[in-house]
Amino acid sequence: MSVLREPLRLSTASGTGAIFDHGSHVVSWRPAGQSEVLWMSGTSTFDSGTAIRGGIPICFPWFGSGRDSTLIPAHGFARLTSWTLVDVVERDGAVTATHSLLDTRLTQNAFPHRFMAVHTARFGEHLDVHLSVENLGDSEFSYEAALHTYLRVGDSRQISVHGLDGVDYIDKVDGASLKTQEGDLTVAAETDRIYRTGSGVDVIDPVLGRTVHVRMSHSADTVVWNPWITRATALADFDDDGWQSMVCIEGANVLENAISLAPGEIHSMGYQLSVGALA
């Protein structure tokens, strides 16, 4: 295990961002004129053996402990692996960092398939993230994936998440029971839900006086997580009071929405953040 070097810090007139090769993990995005949009834990470890707590972890090729709840490490190996920086390109006022990850003998132990994953993060007026996976082998495989975004908010108890009304969700803090959202989502207890939609949400934040627009492409699920008091305290790398200033809004393809890829096929999922006035 070794300590991670500094992230790649990127800056244009439209904003700044930062990304580690470890996990191809975005840890900062600050559009011009705004405060930081992503939440980072003050107690996150930055070493090669653990996942960074905050920013945008990439969960791949499974989510949590996988579809049969047996897999380790949690959320797959992608966030624990150093990706290869392919290039950094500045264009039209934004800068894009591209990383790739190929299967290795080590990944094949856990996930016996040949693949190439490519992650692009475009830092500009918007933050645009894409994760594509190509099947390089000669038989079909399936995988789960999530862009597990930690959003920084003024006070999680005062936000409302708009865009999920009428959507079915799996409530992981209530025995994975299936429920239907009524109205906007507010956070008033531990929240860990898989909403069966990828149509995007708006996070209305009266304390920071802004709305964060979350848009997704080719994601069938939206995961919403806030650990609340007890879980936050139990997690060593999570600030005890960190639950007050974050909410995870994740674009995902999990459980029966896992992606199947035939040989040579590619699937690409996208996630975009932009900041607007308080709705």
Active site residues: 148, 250
CB of 33 to ligand TA6, least distance (A): 30
Residue with smaller CB distance to ligand TA6, 10 or 247: 247
Among 230, 214, 80, CA closest to 159: 214
Residue with smaller CB distance to ligand TA6, 202 or 221: 221
Residue 220 binds ligand TA6 (CB under 6 A)? no
Distance CA 179, CA 167 (A): 8
Residue 129 binds ligand TA6 (CB under 6 A)? no
CB of 140 to ligand TA6, least distance (A): 26
CB of 172 to ligand TA6, least distance (A): 6
Residue with smaller CB distance to ligand TA6, 51 or 273: 51
CB 121 within 8 A of CB 39: no
Q: Which two tokens stand for residue 125?
A: 């007026």
Distance CA 36, CA 263 (A): 40
Q: Using CB under 6 A, which of 64, 66, 124, 198 touches ligand TA6? A: 64
CB 195 within 8 A of CB 163: no
Distance CA 179, CA 45 (A): 35
Q: Which two tokens stand for residue 104?
A: 């290795």
| Residues of the shown chain interacting with ligand TA6 in the complex, contacts defined by CB under 6 A | 51, 64, 74-75, 148, 172, 192, 223, 225, 248, 250
